[in-house]
């Protein structure tokens, strides 16, 4: 496979992470997008992201499947099929993982724009026909940014800005037209600079945060919002599987801020840190306000078992002493 | 002024258009955006665009004012004030206009992203603090793409996708999170590959197209949608001024597809080609279905007078023989 | 029974199909509605339709039950009870079926308007009191109009027009105030003259087409829209029963166009042709774009078994060679 | 003109009102619609209605114009142009007016369905191609049904059923898919058997009744709902003109039930009886609860002047003694 | 415990019911709220209510739990914890129950306002800091007001006023800002002075009445509205438990007025009278229009068993002769 | 008049402010509401408030008119007519004003509940028939609470909670079912403990704050939200009159947060402090962020002129040095 990826002549792959851009591997420092690309001009970009455990990408097939579903919905046609997408992705991870220390992990990002818009280019020879701009790249999972989520728990805030409704764009596609989230984050940061935006939909239902699915624990079971207006999260899927294994009831249905405030626990579910406890909503404590309720612990322990490492310990640098101690 | 703009050492400004990027002028071929810029990752970009007439930017102050209003709303702070923004913009136009033939004109684009997101970068030294990425660039107005709009008139199509409501994001900001328009355009092109998407809002009111304001002519007056959910178009502002001068009633209020189908004329209002007639909506003819009704002609003639050139003639390569012939 | 139905003196029942109108059988050529009937003036008409297999009406009781539910909701009181309605209906089918060839089948229609509105009549003696206008009639199932649905599959299109919300009128009643569907169809035909309108509701959920329920196949199961805003289809009910028999998961919940585009299969469910495959939505292919996926085949085979004839073969004139060949 | 209208051989035009149906005049007793006409099957019918004063149709051109606007929106193409439509209409009124006493007046109705749907017909030879079914007919204005409106005033009721929103169908077209109004009327009659339904829109704004526009008098001016969701009433247009003549402020904007309850007066505006006072809403009195406030009187007097007869006196059989007595 | 409740010096607890107000027991005649309390000024009051069977409060813990959930959501902090709240409540019931005859029962009410708003007080010394005003009181269950509900059944009416949506306030909290219900009741009483308001939500779904949950019986099962927009009723919870015991299907999902009109039975579920049959909706009969269908009877019998008395018999003064006679 | 007001025997009107309660004057310390009053139980209370300037109530007739409009809409019938309401109100102000120092002013509050709900009373003799509970009272305008509004300006915050829509309750009535505002305030205080909630409506339009109307200054004119969803403020009315006098454009139309962020000035308009500048919205500065822009100054000066005192000076204790210094 590596022979098929032609590097630019002056790149030094041994010293710098690689990026797959359009049709080849380039060093990260040379990976950039033209100012007249539809990704810049329209935010017309589909994307996906997974991460590694022990330097192996987690559920890569599921992420690539979702990437192709996003592509199909937006009619931006990937330049090649799922198999080759997976092959290049694994190659990239293999290469870039060599450049990071063993305790560190990689995020693996796929994104694809609708391509360059020739009529916006100042350069005469730009091809008129649009061809998608595909990019696959990695970056180290920023564990240090997540530590407080496991010690204090997350603080979610519901700003006045609402999530896009499906009449406008379907939140089931992972795309990059997210100015509304940027706007919502500005409001959230008025409440708490570390606050995480929890978007409501136009009807006042809880949806998701900018970077994660959201769920609550109620009567001992996990409840996630209905599928209408949220990303089909792979972490959420993993949690639903773990719930089945652990005999924890799992359900998807609409709920509202009342349910969050009166939940036993609340959770963020996301690729970079899998699951974290939510301890506050709009400044009010959830449950007893302590990070790490019993359902969180059972889930994170089971997930740690599945991937063969102590997920929270790796993030915080402090091995977890969980109820099922020894297992992770 | 030109002394203040430091060019990269190897650029050849005499042969290539320049782009102002972040804090300096660079040749167009070197202007690109990092893959971990918020413009790419979130579509968190505000923008504006004007064009030249006789190589002089049209209503540049109004466009820069709107750009600063977008910036204030999104809390992305421009690196310098309106005056310097205007100064650099004029400098850029002066330089780049020298490279195009006299009959051609320039589009002048401003865009500013929320900046690079360090945690997405694979490169160790990326600064943690976000600083907006400002870019000012030009490209030739693609007249050839507009010719048919003046001979056949535009065909607008209302797809099932709706415009974002103000609860999610305010359409009064000119931003680049426009995946919903991309999606809408895919539907539109099923009806007519040259069709132009006319977005309805969630309540079924007519709003705007991807690239222009929209208005109808009813009982001899111009009616544009209410301000709630559309860009505060400078071309629309110009038309409202021309209406006042020409004693044509002008009004902004909600209307629906019924009103478009039964209008006397319909118009697109936009920077690149100022005004064009709309002759069809969802495949049905508007008025007599001919491009160029009387109100359109009076407005385009007055606008041509104002800028001292035959706007349609310049686009189509055929000087207009309008009712006020000789004046433009 | 036939003795109870008094025919008009000059009708020739042996040569012409009969229609039950108001209180008697009349020849089809004499069956018409006054121009001042509420069915014409208001569209205040409830209706139902079944068809025959081997000249026997399919699930007639279920259709008559739904007809009475529609009547109760609209407070248009049928002139007699369910039993007599069924008796007349069977009598009518028996008579009219004799006039068609054995390979042909009949559609059996019930409709009932709110009655004649005396104040709209130009004729002095019109009774002031409204009495419902009941009509029961048949017509041959137009098989030739359905053939392409089984060879190419249906192409569904989501126009900008939305389905009525339950605040205005409940789609669970089968009624004839369907101008919005006519309007929607005009838009659909701009995309594809053979396109079938798939109406979205005000929230962007998929509902139904003008003449059928709609369902998708996802993860091997059949998913139909939630009951809120669609007809309680007897074909849909049949499919849910067949799913139970065949051990195919069946569920009703909200879904959106994204789900249709990424479905494995999609189906129309309707009285005249039972089930047909949907292969395109808004011009994009569903699954592999071929008519007749595995779930469709299992369902249509089971349905064929149930009614003792090859449903698709009868429509297309070409006997199906299905996976359960020999059974139908 | 009359020579161009071919009557059926056995009609006796001298004794019976005529109806123009499809392409010819027929006696009223023979005017009926096939049970497989789209007007019956879908409610796909556009319509209009005017009335006579002194046996001359009032603002016939305006009504025909609106009829053609409805036709254009629904894409049901009238079989001939406005002029001929007017000519036939006048011919019909002339003929039918001869059959009523001088003190009586005629309603003149135009309606046009999308045509017969061949596939619903049991009769073999039905043409496949749809051709609109046009019908023009008259009936005596039922004055006796309106008397109480001028002695007691109307009682409007806002039921739970809402008016169709423009996303589904535009209320600016006069069409006959009005089952929701039938349903709403059932609720209204629970409050008052003579109550008149005043439909709210989905946002709680006042729209119109089943058969009339609605307006209130506030601070001495007339306020009608905004144009978004109501018929473009010719009576309303007349009132707006009379307001201008009488120097009564006139405005169209959204208002709610609060405004109706606290209005000085309220009015129904409609072709059959022009204007009538509304004295109750949901059982509560408006103003002093007396029929015929000062603005009503000024308007009805001015309208009476315009048409040269005492409008209310003709309806009630009791000549009005109005403030401008002697003028009408 | 009774020693801890300090009575005002002049109260005569033996002769008058007590009320717990703020921090002490007072005689009912002295229990009142300051005119500048937030309960008066804002309706900022959370509440709950249970009743006794045989003078013992029914599911007091569940009611207190819900009261604390309401308190948490509104951030009005109760002055003490659940245990003490229960203790005082039981003490109060014990005392007040002694003053009523054995066949009578007590309603037990908890309410807590946000406290006195000093800036509204005319009295100088009012403390600036708000402290919640807690009140616990009882009153005899007014059985005579319920009798007709069991003989004729309830008549529910859906007025034009809609229930608050969760974007504004969550109906899951039991609060006292219910002017909209007052308004709705005014409309309902136009239909039937004894009518009970059944509120629809903004989307036309059935929610609840002013004082009870609502459910229908469909295909032998009980269907209650989805949890989104209704109180989490303890009576509804009891019914769901009884359904499980009796093997009656129980489900919560959205339904509409159509479903009510075509239901087999309909039920009100509420603390004071547990369950009553609904026999009419908007003037139309439900099922056969008789009070007391089979599912109602099974549920009320089982509930009577659970509490050891004949619930309906106690209310109506006539012991029930139910299908499971002898058991209650 | 004072003879008609019978005081309770032990009140000392000379030393304590009076309150008019139900049908008589009582000392403020004895003014309280029964715990079973509809004002407590349902929030079914209409209200109004004015204040004095130089101890004379401002626009009392306008406030009483609005109070009667609220009463008419809610069908809570005041016990006497407008004239007597005004008479008692003036009497009360005269009495209570004697008890405050000259530099202080009074707020005058009217409120009226739907009356006591007998079935909630524990006391046997409570009358069954509901009679409205009317209360008129005063309290000193709390100037000290407003000082910072004139030095720093107000900070308005738009929380996630939305204003009630008119389908549920019309904001044009001044009522006391305002739990949603309490909830919204809890969110606002997370951003800024002194923040003032600016409620958005369900469509994202700006409406009003809990205690004031809101307006912006745009292009030199004052723009207030459209009347649909806000109180018909007397202060807003005053401002519209002052605008006319001062030749400042004044308009009511929908606007959104974008318009607030980009306004030249923003204003709160309310009885207690008339007008105050708004300098921040959601943490972002409006205009230059200074309290007291030119339009504010012109309006407050003109208002001060009208009432003959320096409004801001009285509040802050520091006489204003305004542009029209000397006039106030």
Question: Mind listing the pLDDT tens digit for each residue in E281-321?
Answer: 999 999 999 999 999 999 999 999 999 999 999 999 987 55
* Chain C neighbors of D164, CB-CB under 8 A: 164, 168, 180
- CA atoms of D205 and B124, how far apart (whole Å): 59
Please tell me whether residues A159 and A200 are part of one structural domain.
yes
Nearest CA of chain E to the CA of C20: how many Å?
Answer: 27
Determine the Cα–Cα distance for residues F298 and C92; give it in Å rounded to an integer. 84
Q: Which residues of D touch B (CB under 8 A)?
A: 69, 72-73, 75, 165-168, 170, 172-173, 226-228
Q: What is the pLDDT of residue B324?
A: 42
Tell me the mean pLDDT in the region E62-78. Answer: 98
Burial C165-196 (b: 16+ CB within 10 A, else e): bbbbbbbbbbbbbbbbbbbbbbbbbbbbeebb
> What ipTM, to 2 d.p.?
0.93
The reply to whether E73 falls in a domain is yes
Residue of F206, F255, F258, F282 to mutate, testing the B interface (most B Cβ within 10 Å of its Cβ): F258
pLDDT single digits (tens) B105-122: 999 999 999 999 999 999
Three-state SS at A181: helix
DSSP for A191-209, please give it. Answer: H-TT-EEEEE-TTS-EEEE
Mean pLDDT, rounded, for C267-283 = 98
Domain annotation covers residue B191: yes
Point out the residue among E200, E256, E284 whose CB comes nearest to the CB of C228.
E256
Q: How far apart are CA B15 and CA B91, in angstroms?
A: 16
Is there a contact between A203 and E172 if contact means CB atoms under 8 Å apart?
Answer: no
Q: Alpha carbon of B56 to those of A8, B97, B300, C278, E263: distances in Å?
A: 41, 9, 19, 55, 73
Please write the tens of the pLDDT for every residue from B248-303. Answer: 999 999 999 999 999 999 999 999 999 999 999 999 999 999 998 999 999 999 99
Q: Nearest CB to A204: which of E72, E166, E226?
A: E166
Closest chain B residue by Cα to residue C281:
B187
* CA–CA min distance B177, chain A (Å): 4
For C102, the 3-state DSSP assignment is: coil
Test the B interface: residue of A19, A182, A271 with most B CBs within 10 Å: A182
Is pLDDT above 90 for C10? Answer: no
Q: Are residues E202 and E230 in the same domain?
A: yes
Q: D101: buried, middle or exposed (CB in 10 Å: 19+, 13-18, 0-12)? A: exposed
Handedness of CA F158, F160, F165, F170 (dihedral sign): negative
Lowest mean pLDDT among A156-165, C3-12, C258-267, C278-287: C3-12
Residue of B74, B160, B183 with shortest CB distance to A74: B183
Q: Which chains touch E (3 or more CB pairs under 8 A)?
A: A, C, D, F
Rounded distance between C-alpha atoms, residue E43 and residue F44, angstroms: 8
Pull the structure tokens for residue E209: 């009445």
- Contact (CB<8Å) D17/C122: yes
pLDDT grade for B321, boundaries at 50, 70 and 90 = low
Q: Nearest by CB to E160, from D158, D186, D190: name it.
A: D158
Q: Residues with Cβ < 8 Å from E134, sequence gap 6 or more?
A: E20, E21, E22, E23, E78, E79, E110, E111, E112
Chain B interface mutation, best of A25, A40, A203, highest count of B Cβ atoms under 10 Å: A40
Top residue of D12, D22, D40, D71 to mutate, by most chain C CBs within 10 Å, is D40
List, for residues C159-183, the tens digit of each pLDDT value.
Answer: 999 999 999 999 999 999 999 999 9
The CA-based diameter of chain D, rounded to the nearest angstrom, is 65
Contact of A45 with A137, CB cutoff 8 Å: no
Q: Give per-residue pLDDT as tens, C90-104.
A: 999 999 999 999 899
**What average pLDDT does the segment E225-240 reach?**
95
* C-alpha–C-alpha distance, residues F164 and F168, integer Å: 7
Residue of F nearest to A201 (CA): F160
Distance of residue C127 Cα from the nearest chain B Cα, in angstroms: 38
Q: Above 70 in pLDDT, residue C123?
A: yes
Residue ending a domain, among C113, C141, C169, is C141
In the D/F pair of chains, how many CB contacts fall below 8 A? Answer: 37
Domain boundary among C141, C162, C182: C141
- Are A288 and A298 within 8 A, CB to CB? no
Compute the distance between CA of residue F319 and CA of residue B167 in angstroms, rounded to an integer. 42
Flag whether E190 is in a domain. Answer: yes
Q: Is E306 left (phi over 0), alpha (psi -120 to 50) or beta?
A: alpha
**Interface test with chain E among D158, D160, D198, by most E beta carbons within 10 Å:** D160
The two structure tokens encoding residue F277: 């500048």
- For residue F45, being part of any structural domain is answered with yes
Of B96, B118, B141, at which residue does a domain stop?
Answer: B141
- Give the CATH number, domain containing residue B268: 3.20.10.10
- Whole-angstrom Cα distance, residue A272 to residue A140? 10
| Predicted pLDDT of residue C2 | 40
B319 vs F254 pLDDT, higher one: F254
pLDDT at position F213 is 98
Do B31 and B92 have their domain in common? yes
Domain count of the fold of chain B = 2
- Residue at D4 is within a domain: no
Residue A176 to residue B175, Cβ atoms within 8 A: no
Cα F188 from Cα F209, distance rounded (Å): 11
Contacts of residue A167 in chain C, CB cutoff 8 Å?
Answer: 200, 202-204
- Tell me the pLDDT tens digit for each residue of E128-165: 899 999 999 999 999 999 999 999 999 999 999 999 99
Top pLDDT among E171 and D4 is at: E171
Chain F positions touching E39 (Cβ under 8 A) are: 40
Query: Which candidate in F165, F203, F251, F284 is best for mutational testing of the B interface (most B CBs within 10 A)?
Result: F203
Beta partners for residue B138, in sequence order:
B108
Give the number of B-F residue pairs with CB atoms closer than 8 Å.
Answer: 38
Q: Which of E160, E192, E257 sits opposite D200 (nearest CB)?
A: E160
CB within 8 Å: D283 and E190: yes
Residue F36 with chain E: CB contacts under 8 Å: 139
**C244's tokens:** 């139970």
Residue tagged 């937030």 (tokens): E38
Chain centroid offset of residue F33 CA: 21
CA dihedral D16, D18, D22, D24 (to 10 degrees): 90
Q: How far from D270 is each of C312, D139, D238, CA to CA, in Å? A: 54, 16, 10
- In sign, the C-alpha dihedral spanning F253, F255, F259, F260 is positive
Write the CATH number for D22.
3.30.470.10
Predicted local distance difference test score (pLDDT) of residue A125: 82
Q: Are residues A207 and A300 in the same domain?
A: yes
Q: E136 and E152 share a domain?
A: no
Q: Is the pLDDT of residue A172 over 50?
A: yes
A31, A166: one domain: no
A73, A173 in Cβ contact below 8 A? yes
Taking the C-alpha atoms of residue F227 and residue D226, their distance in angstroms, rounded to an integer, is 13
- Cβ contacts of E99-104, under 8 Å, gap ≥ 24: E99/E15, E99/E16, E99/E17, E100/E140, E102/E55, E103/E314, E104/E140, E104/E141, E104/E143
CB contact under 8 A, D74 and C182: yes
Residues of D in contact with B200 (CB under 8 A): 167
Do residues F174 and F276 both lie within one domain? yes
pLDDT surpasses 90 at E202: yes
CB nearest B42 (choices: A164, A165, A178): A178
Å from E191 to nearest chain A CA?
31
Radius of gyration of chain D (CA): 20
Q: What radius of gyration, in Å, describes the C-alpha atoms of chain A?
A: 20
Measured between CB atoms, which of D162, D186, D282 is closest to E187? D282
Assess whether D52 and D171 both reside in one domain.
no
Q: What is the per-residue burial (b if ≥16 Cβ within 10 Å, else e) of C87-119?
A: ebbebbbebbbebbeeeebbbbbbbbbbbbbbb
Candidates B31, B42, B167; nearest CB to A35: B31
Give pLDDT, residue D325. Answer: 38
Give residues with Cβ within 8 angstroms of B4, minimum separation 6.
none
- Binning pLDDT at 50, 70 and 90, where does residue C325 land? very low
- Asked whether the beta carbons of residue E157 and residue D186 sit closer than 8 angstroms, the reply is no
For residue D188 the two structure tokens come to 């209204």
Task: In whole angstroms, give the CA distance from residue C198 to residue A309.
Answer: 49
The Cα–Cα gap between D132 and C183 comes to 15
Q: Which residues of chain F have pLDDT under 70?
A: 1-14, 320-328
Average pLDDT over residues A282-290: 96
Question: Same domain for F17 and F157?
Answer: no
Model confidence band, residue A318 (pLDDT cutoffs 50, 70, 90)? confident
Note the pLDDT of residue B318: 82
* CA distance linking residue B166 with residue F255, whole number of Å: 10
Residues of chain D short of pLDDT 50, as ranges, are 1-4, 322-328
pLDDT in tens, A16-31: 999 999 999 999 999 9
A92-149 pLDDT per residue, tens: 999 999 999 989 999 999 999 999 999 999 988 888 899 999 999 999 999 999 999 9
Q: Does A8 reside within a domain? A: no
Residue D82 and residue D112 in contact, taking contact as beta carbons nearer than 8 Å: no
Per-residue pLDDT, C15: 82
Mean pLDDT of B74-102: 97
Cβ–Cβ of C228/E262 closer than 8 Å?
Answer: no
Is B182 within 8 Å of A42 when comparing Cβ atoms? yes
Q: B touches which chains (3+ CB pairs under 8 A)?
A: A, C, D, F
Name the pLDDT band for B102 (thresholds 50, 70, 90): confident
Of the candidates E72, E75, E170, the beta carbon closest to that of A256 is on: E170
Contacts of A254 in chain C (CB under 8 A): none
Closest Cβ opposite residue B283 in set C158, C190, C202: C190
Question: What is the C-alpha to C-alpha distance for residues C159 and B281, in angstroms, rounded to an integer?
Answer: 13
- D327 found inside a domain: no
pLDDT score, position F124: 85
Task: Using CB atoms, pick whichever of D203, D205, D261 lies closest to residue F72.
Answer: D261
Q: Which residues in B39-153 belong to E strands, given as ranges? A: 45-53, 56-57, 106-113, 133-140
B172 within a domain of the structure (yes/no): yes
State residue E324's pLDDT score: 43
Q: Looking at chain C, which residue has its C-alpha nearest residue A172?
A: C258
Reported as a pLDDT band with limits 50, 70 and 90, residue E9 is: low
pLDDT at residue E229 in the model: 86
Categorize the per-residue pLDDT at E218 as very low, low, confident or very high, splitting at 50, 70 and 90: very high
Return the structure tokens found at C236.
């849909």
Asked if residue D195 lies in contact with residue D155, where contact means CB atoms within 8 angstroms, the answer is: yes
Chains that touch C (3 or more CB pairs under 8 A): A, B, D, E
Q: Where are the beta strands (DSSP E) in E151-305?
A: 154-157, 196-200, 206-209, 213-218, 221-224, 250-252, 265-270, 274-281, 284-285
F258 and B170 within 8 Å at the Cβ level: the answer is yes
Residue E36 clears pLDDT 50, i.e. is over it: yes
Instruction: Collect all residues of chain C within an 8 Å Cβ-Cβ radius of residue B186.
Output: 282
User: Please, which chains are in contact with F (at least 3 CB pairs closer than 8 A)?
Assistant: A, B, D, E
The two tokens of residue A222 are: 């996990």
Residues B103 and B240 in one domain: no
Report the distance separating Cα B19 and Cα A121, nearest Å.
Answer: 11
Instruction: Supply the pLDDT for residue E13.
Output: 54
**Beta bridge mates, A140:** A106
- Contact assessment for residue E275 and residue E239, using Cβ atoms and an 8 Å cutoff: yes
* Statement to judge: residues A202 and A98 lie in one domain: no
- DSSP secondary structure of E34-86: ETTBHHHHT--EEEEEEEEETTEETTHHHHHHHHHHHHHHHT---SS-HHHHH
Would you state the pLDDT for residue C14? Answer: 64
The tens digit of pLDDT for each residue in C214-248 reads 999 999 999 999 999 899 999 999 999 999 999 99
Residues F182 and F93 in one domain: no
Chain A CB contacts of B109 under 8 Å are 120
Please say if the pLDDT value at position A328 is more than 50. no
Residues spanned by the domain of C201: 146-316
The Cβ of residue B14 has, within 10 Å, a number of other Cβ atoms equal to: 8
Angle of helix D179-191 relative to helix C60-74, nearest 10 degrees, comes to 50
Residue F212: Cβ-neighbour burial (10 angstroms; 0-12, 13-18, 19+): buried
């Amino acid at each position: 496979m590596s022979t098929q990826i032609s590097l630019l002549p002056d790149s030094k792959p041994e010293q710098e992470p690689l990026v797959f851009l359009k049709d080849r591997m380039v060093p990260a420092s040379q990976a950039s997008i033209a100012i007249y690309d539809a990704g810049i001009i329209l935010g017309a970009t589909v994307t996906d992201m997974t991460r590694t455990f022990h330097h192996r990408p987690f559920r890569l097939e599921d992420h690539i499947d979702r990437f192709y579903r996003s592509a199909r919905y937006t009619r931006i046609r990937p330049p090649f099929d799922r198999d080759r997408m997976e092959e290049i992705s694994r190659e990239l991870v293999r290469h870039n993982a060599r450049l990071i220390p063993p305790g560190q992990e990689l995020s693996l990002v796929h994104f694809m724009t609708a391509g360059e818009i020739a009529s916006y280019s100042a350069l005469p020879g730009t091809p008129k026909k649009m061809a998608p701009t595909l990019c696959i790249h990695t970056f180290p999972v920023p564990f240090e940014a997540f530590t407080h989520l496991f010690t204090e728990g997350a603080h979610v805030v519901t700003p006045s800005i609402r999530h896009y409704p499906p009449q406008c764009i379907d939140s089931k596609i992972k795309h990059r037209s997210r100015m509304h989230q940027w706007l919502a984050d500005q409001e959230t940061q008025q409440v708490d600079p570390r606050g995480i935006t929890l978007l409501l939909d136009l009807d006042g239902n809880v949806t998701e945060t900018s970077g994660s699915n959201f769920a609550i624990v109620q009567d001992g079971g996990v409840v996630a919002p209905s599928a209408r207006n949220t990303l089909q999260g792979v972490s959420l899927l993993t949690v639903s599987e773990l719930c089945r294994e652990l005999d924890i009831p799992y359900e998807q249905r609409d709920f509202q801020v009342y349910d969050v405030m009166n939940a036993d626990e609340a959770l963020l579910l996301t690729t970079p840190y899998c699951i974290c406890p939510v301890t506050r909503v709009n400044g009010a404590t959830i449950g007893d306000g302590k990070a790490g309720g019993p359902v969180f612990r059972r889930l994170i322990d089971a997930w740690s078992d599945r991937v063969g490492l102590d997920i929270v310990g790796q993030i915080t640098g402090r091995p977890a002493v969980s109820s099922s101690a020894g297992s992770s």
